[in-house]
Amino acid sequence: MKKYKWLVPTLYIIFLMLPIYWLINMSFKTTTEIINTYSLWPQKFTTENYVKIFTDSTWYMGYVNSITYTVFNTVISVAAALPAAYAFSRYKFLGDKHLFFWLLTNRMAPPAVFALPFFQFYSSVNLFDTHIAVALSHCLFNIPLAVWILEGFMSAVPKELDETAYVDGYSFGRFFFKIFVPTIAAGIGITMFFCFMFSWVELLLAKTLTATEAKPIAATMTRTASTSGYELGLLAAAGTLTIIPGAIVIYFVKDYIAKGFAMGRV
């Protein structure tokens, strides 16, 4: 029994990789080949789908836009969440528990509920179709998440650290940036990973809040699918490319992922 234990994760990983393989397989075929023949690997190997994406600005700008607002969002979320998480982990104050739950409720709000009001709201403040609008709207679910994860990591740091620093004559600012932030660096890394992840994969709000200037790659894909017939090969290549940023990010944080989850916060 124990000997065959490796089978379960192996089969699971094969199951996970199959659709991804199929997408990559499609991305190296021409659209005619995809529609007319069924084959497990490309018969006429072509990279023209990728060439098209990297030479056509409506395509590659989609990636630039997506990465831009995702990075904005990650920076804003973590910067705002750091002091707040510190307050929640160290102090009791009026309404702290209610505030914490209220923050979490925003992680629970279905984006579909907010799509229309967001559209009207960001249009009325002239931020429609900007990267910052998407980045700010993603704060809705990423800030609560960032506060939640960071609070978990900060609570694991004993309070004596703060007290010793103050006794040694550190000001709050110096203590926070010179001692505290480096101590919870792993936690900040995990938080950034999750903020990046949830902002990168979200489409409903990003699509609702943009038209041309800040259009995310995901929206470029859905619009291409409906306008120029059904260019499956191109779509598959664009899809394959959206997996890469995530894969790079995972590679860098792989050692922290298990640890981050172990804090019991996601």
Partner 1 sequence: MNKTINQKAWFFVIPVFILVAFNAAIPLMTVVNYSFQETFGNNVFAWEGTRWFKQILLSERFHAALGRQIAFTFIILLIQIPLGIGIALTMPKKGWGVPVCLILMSMPLLIPWNVVGAMWNIFALPDIGFLGHSLNGMGFDYNFTQQPGDAWFTTILMDVWHWTSLVVLLSYAGLNSIQPAYYQAAEIDGASRWAIFRYIELPKMKKVLTLAILLRFMDSFMIYTEPFVLTGGGPGNTTAFLSIDLVKMALGQFDLGPAAAMSLIYFFIVLLVCWVFYNLMMKNEAQS
Q: Which span sits near partner 1 by CB under 8 A: 21-29, 46-54, 183-191?
A: 21-29
**Helix (H) or strand (E) segment spanning residue 89:** helix 57-90
- φ and ψ of 67, to 5 deg: -65, -40
**How far from chain centre, in Å, is Cα 180?**
25
Query: Longest C-alpha distance within the chain, in Å?
Result: 75
Q: CB of 148: closest distance to partner 1 in angstroms?
A: 10
Of 105 and 212, nearer to partner 1 (C-beta) is 105
Query: Judged by CB, which is closer to partner 1: 74, or 137?
Result: 137
Q: Confirm or reject binding of residue 5 to partner 1 (CB under 8 A).
A: yes
Say if residues 48 and 30 touch (Cβ distance below 8 Å): yes
Contacts to partner 1 from residues 163-192, by CB under 8 A? none
CA distance 59 to 240: 13
In contact, 200 and 246? CB cutoff 8 Å: yes
139 contributes a contact to partner 1 by CB under 8 A: yes
Q: Give the footprint of partner 1 on residues 117-136 (CB under 8 A).
A: 117-118, 120-121, 136
User: Which residues ranging from 201 to 260 are in contact with partner 1 (CB under 8 A)?
Assistant: 201-204, 217-218, 221-222, 225, 232, 235-236, 239, 242-243, 245-247, 249-251, 254-255, 257-260
Question: Would you count residue 88 as binding partner 1 (CB under 8 A)?
Answer: yes
C-beta of 27: minimal distance to partner 1 in Å?
Answer: 10
Rounded CA-CA distance 173/48 in Å is 54
Among residues 86 and 128, whose Cβ is nearest to partner 1?
86
Token code pair at residue 45 = 């190997």
- Site for partner 1 contains 113 (CB under 8 A): yes
Among 61, 111, 130, 181, binds partner 1 (CB under 8 A): 111
Check: CB of residue 90 under 8 Å from CB of residue 154: yes
Length of the chain: 266
